[in-house]
């Protein structure tokens, strides 16, 4: 995020693909397990939509874990600059980070849908993928895009600010990074909960 343009390197894309597959399969097992039956199409659609709803948190944390140390280091340097430097740097980095976060969404959702088709191998994979993609609730998809952009911007600000704070208080960079990660998780989870409680349940929950 800092210094270099945020790029979708192979490691980050691989983690995103793995996260999407594991989340989708986990939701399918959770939903279909009590029925003691193979996952139905409805369960698959619900699992993919649930994965989409959780995607902003997962993607944001993946970016934070990868680039957190570099952002904290950047924040410590910003502490020595005039007031307003933090906001300007945040804006600059947000133009790199937010598009990168949004670009990871297709990978995560595609992985979720492909893994969902593996639960019923007797069906046509292409047909099933088309069905799953066609039944992805537009409201959920739009909400996922908005939350991903918002959460990534928030985490960027928190991490830079914690770097500045660490410099002013003469804290170790590792302590600043630990605080940035814990604070980011708390803020994002809290906002996600408030979002679900306040928004229209039909938009948040979606339909199959």
199 phi-psi bin (left φ>0, alpha ψ -120 to 50, beta other): beta
Q: Sort 10 into a burial class: Cβ within 10 Å, 0-12 / 13-18 / 19+.
A: exposed
What's the pLDDT at 122? 55
Three-state secondary structure of 3-67: CCCCCCCHHHHHHHHHHHHHHHHHHHHHHHHHHCCCCCHHHHHHHHHHHHHHHHHHHHHHHHHHH
Neighbours of 195 (CB within 10 A): 15
How far apart are alpha carbons 4 and 99 in whole angstroms?
14
First to last CA, the chain: 37
Give the pLDDT confidence score for residue 135 in this predicted structure.
Answer: 77
d(C-alpha 133, C-alpha 114), whole Å:
10
CA angle 64, 168, 166 (to 5 degrees): 25
Return the pLDDT at 60.
93
Q: Give pLDDT tens digits along the chain (208 positions).
A: 444 444 677 888 999 999 999 998 888 877 776 555 555 777 788 888 888 889 999 999 999 988 999 999 999 998 888 878 889 999 999 998 999 999 999 999 999 888 888 776 555 667 777 778 777 888 888 989 999 999 999 999 999 999 999 988 888 889 999 999 999 999 999 988 888 777 655 544 444 3
pLDDT of residue 84: 84
Query: What per-residue confidence (pLDDT) applies to 124?
Result: 61
């Amino acid at each position: 995020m800092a210094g270099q343009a945020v790029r979708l390197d192979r490691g980050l894309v691989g983690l995103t693909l793995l996260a999407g597959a594991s989340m989708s399969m986990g939701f399918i097992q959770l939903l279909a397990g009590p029925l003691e039956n193979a996952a139905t199409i409805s369960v698959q659609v619900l699992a993919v939509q649930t994965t989409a709803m959780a995607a902003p948190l997962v993607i944001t944390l993946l970016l934070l874990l990868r680039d957190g140390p570099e952002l904290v280091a950047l924040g410590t340097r910003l502490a020595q600059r005039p007031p307003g430097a933090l906001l300007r740097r945040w804006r600059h980095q947000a133009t790199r980070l937010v598009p990168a976060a949004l670009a990871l969404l297709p990978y995560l959702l595609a992985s979720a849908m492909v893994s969902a088709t593996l639960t019923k191998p007797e069906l046509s994979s292409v047909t099933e993928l088309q069905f799953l993609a066609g039944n992805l609730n537009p409201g959920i998809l739009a909400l996922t895009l908005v939350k991903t952009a918002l959460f990534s911007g928030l985490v960027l600000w928190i991490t830079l600010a914690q770097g500045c704070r660490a410099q002013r208080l003469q804290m170790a960079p590792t302590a600043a990074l630990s605080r940035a990660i814990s604070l980011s998780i708390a803020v994002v989870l809290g906002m996600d909960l408030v979002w679900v409680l306040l928004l229209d349940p039909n938009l948040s929950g979606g339909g199959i």
